[in-house]
Amino acid sequence: MSTSKSISIVIPVRNEAGYIAAQLQRLQAYRSRGHELIVIDGGSLDDTVQLTTGLVDSGESGESGRSRQMNQGAASARGDVLLFLHADTELPEDADGLIIEALAEQGSRWGWFDVRLSNSGLPYRMVGGMMNLRSRLTSVCTGDQALFVERALFEELGGFPALELMEDIALSKALRRATKAEARPARPDGVAVTSSRRWEQNGLLTTILLMWKLRLLYFFGMKPSNLVRMYYPRHD
């Protein structure tokens, strides 16, 4: 599917050897259609960097931290639209066309995909449904939902805030404010599939309660530098 705009897909990674090769193989179709694939490594100790060889337009190393990594990738991007993608989130087929079409038809300058978790069990389907409902009601998305934004608007806002956690929430709120007089965020057809590993490893209910707690504490002003220690107990 050809599109009138180019997309730069920015993937921040750190120790993603188990996911990155398959992810990049899936994304080669977009490179063949003139889009750009950028991977920013944040200090991987596994084979992540080696596995990107020959599969990206730009592979760079930088400081760890998703906000810093994504800003670094965006700074070197050439596309009209920036798409921020996690290594373990799979885009729907022909996502480039879906994004460009949604931006044009819905009159938006940014947006995200609805999401479902890779585990097909009912509780996991319910978690995905609640994530999508929350985003529709608040116009705020998370990194799992493959946020995309016009590069000009992203640069106008100064990129992702320099936060250790909740950078996706903060940027969504800034985009919401900047475009409140315009159309609502775009929601293309198609669903992104994100790994359910976090919920499976830490427990479904435990993870849900932790995320609610972190969001509530962030809402009431707790610094992300403190929240990150709760999200990553061994974070240094």
Q: What percent of the chain has pLDDT over 90?
A: 71
For the chain, what are the domain ranges? 7-231
CA atoms of 178 and 110, how far apart (whole Å): 11
Instruction: Quick: pLDDT tens for 96-119.
Output: 999 999 999 999 999 999 999 999
Residues 6+ apart with CB under 8 A from 70: 10, 12, 40, 84, 159, 160, 167
Fold of 7-231: Spore Coat Polysaccharide Biosynthesis Protein SpsA; Chain A (3.90.550)
Instruction: Give me 99's structure tokens.
Output: 């994004």
C-alpha Rg value of the chain to the nearest Å: 17
pLDDT band at 228 (very low <50, low <70, confident <90, very high): low
Q: What is the chain's mean pLDDT, rounded?
A: 89
What does the pLDDT look like over 158-186, one tens digit per residue? 999 988 778 998 999 999 999 988 889 99
pLDDT above 70 coverage of the chain, percent: 88
So what's the pLDDT on residue 219? 64
Residues 196-215: pLDDT tens digits? 888 787 777 777 776 776 66
Buried (b) or exposed (e) across 31-69, using 16+ Cβ within 10 A?
eeeebbbbbbbbebeeebbebbeebbebbeebeebbbbb
